[in-house]
Amino acid sequence: MSDTDHEDGTDPGRVLCWRGREVALAPLDVYDAELLHGWRSDPTAAHEIGIWPRSLPALRERIERDQGDNDRDDFLVLLPDGTPIGHIALTDQDLADGTAEAHLLLAPGFRGHGHASDALDALTDLAFGELPLHRVEAVTHTTNAAALATLARSGFTREGVRRSACLHRGRRHDVAILALLREEWEAQTRPRSWDL
């Protein structure tokens, strides 16, 4: 155990700011760049989302730059014991129009256990319960079945397809556009983050 860890294994400098059913969200910091770099290097993530690992210094610079951006909020997704398992963000926030875009990436060993839906529900509770947003959008490849299922479980409706909108591995891909509106979120009967 290092000097920076508590006995329970959590980082003493990590401030939990929001909660899901089984996960918590903590603000992303520059020292999290190595975690993100590893997750972005995962072949499944690269294939399904079309991302690739930039250099670690470039990723650190981007995280530091994004921390000063008032139009986005980036979080680590944490298990109850403090283990970081993913990154979730609310980006392109336009408070005048009430819109934003959700992004989510889980570490390879933590996919398929319900953590993605839990984190996404927590993020939409933040978007509609604390921010004056009316619409949260998400975009993913039309072939990304896991992401499409997660978004559907969290109440997102598939609105359409942008044909041939993404170049990845030398091929064009269609991307699905999904969204959750405030009134749809309000109609959900699940417990809210502040009730957990």
- Assigned domain for 2 exists: no
Contacts of residue 69, defined as CB under 8 A and 6 or more positions apart, other chains included, come to none
pLDDT of residue 49: 66
Whole-structure pTM value: 0.86
Q: Could you tell me the CATH number of the domain that includes residue 134?
A: 3.40.630.30
Q: What is the pLDDT along the chain (196 residues), one digit of tens a residue?
A: 333 443 434 455 688 889 999 999 999 998 898 888 888 877 777 666 666 667 888 888 888 888 877 889 999 999 999 999 999 999 999 999 999 999 999 998 898 899 999 999 999 999 999 999 999 999 998 988 999 999 999 999 999 999 998 887 778 889 999 999 999 999 999 999 999 7
Provide the number of structural domains found in the chain: 1
Domain range spanning residue 48? Answer: 18-195
- Assigned domain for 9 exists: no
- Assigned domain for 92 exists: yes
Sheet containing 135-141: order of strands: 18-19, 24-27, 73-78, 84-94, 99-106, 135-141, 171-181, 157-168
